[in-house]
Amino acid sequence: QQPVQSPQAVILREGEDAVINCSSSKALYSVHWYRQKHGEAPVFLMILLKGGEQKGHEKISASFNEKKQQSSLYLTASQLSYSGTYFCGTVRQAGTALIFGKGTTLSVSS
């Protein structure tokens, strides 16, 4: 079952922060975050496993609330290079497929 992402789109100026949310109605084994720039393939950002962990990647970090089956991606002090579409992907059980949400388009301007 497909995870639900919000918001659909975010417009920022350089230096501003953003949060992208991902939720599932089913229990999850892991949550994955990817970024895709126009005309390119999705690129891996990070994985969060059940256990409610938080991870960081430069100025991009994420959390996973296992009880609520929700994950959030935090982008701080955004840069122009952060522009793109962010996808949340979920795996319900080990060995099952990676299913993506519909994506959140982030536009950062100077």
Partner 1 sequence: DTAVSQTPKYLVTQMGNDKSIKCEQNLGHDTMYWYKQDSKKFLKIMFSYNNKELIINETVPNRFSPKSPDKAHLNLHINSLELGDSAVYFCASSQRSAAEAFFGQGTRLTVV
| Residue 4 touching partner 1 (CB under 8 A) | no
| Residue 95 touching partner 1 (CB under 8 A) | yes
Query: Three-state DSSP class for 80?
Result: helix
Q: Using alpha carbons only, what angle is made at residue 31 by residues 27 and 33, rounded to the nearest 5 degrees? A: 155
Q: Tell me, what amino acid is at 93?
A: Q
The residues with which 107 forms a beta bridge, in sequence order, are 11
Q: How many CB atoms lie within 10 A of CB 58?
A: 11
18, 78 in Cβ contact below 8 A? yes
| Residue 85 touching partner 1 (CB under 8 A) | yes
Instruction: Provide the CA 109 distance to its chain's centre, in angstroms.
Output: 20
| Residue 96 touching partner 1 (CB under 8 A) | yes
- In the shown chain, the binding pattern of residues 33 to 72 toward partner 1, with x for contact by CB under 8 A and - for none, equals -x-x---xxxxx--x-x-----------------------
Give the binding range for partner 1 (CB under 8 A) out of 19-27, 63-71, 72-80, 97-105.
97-105
Closer by beta carbon to partner 1, 27 or else 43 = 43
The binding site for partner 1 (CB under 8 A) comprises 29-30, 32, 34, 36, 40-44, 47, 49, 85, 87, 89, 91, 94-100, 102-103, 105
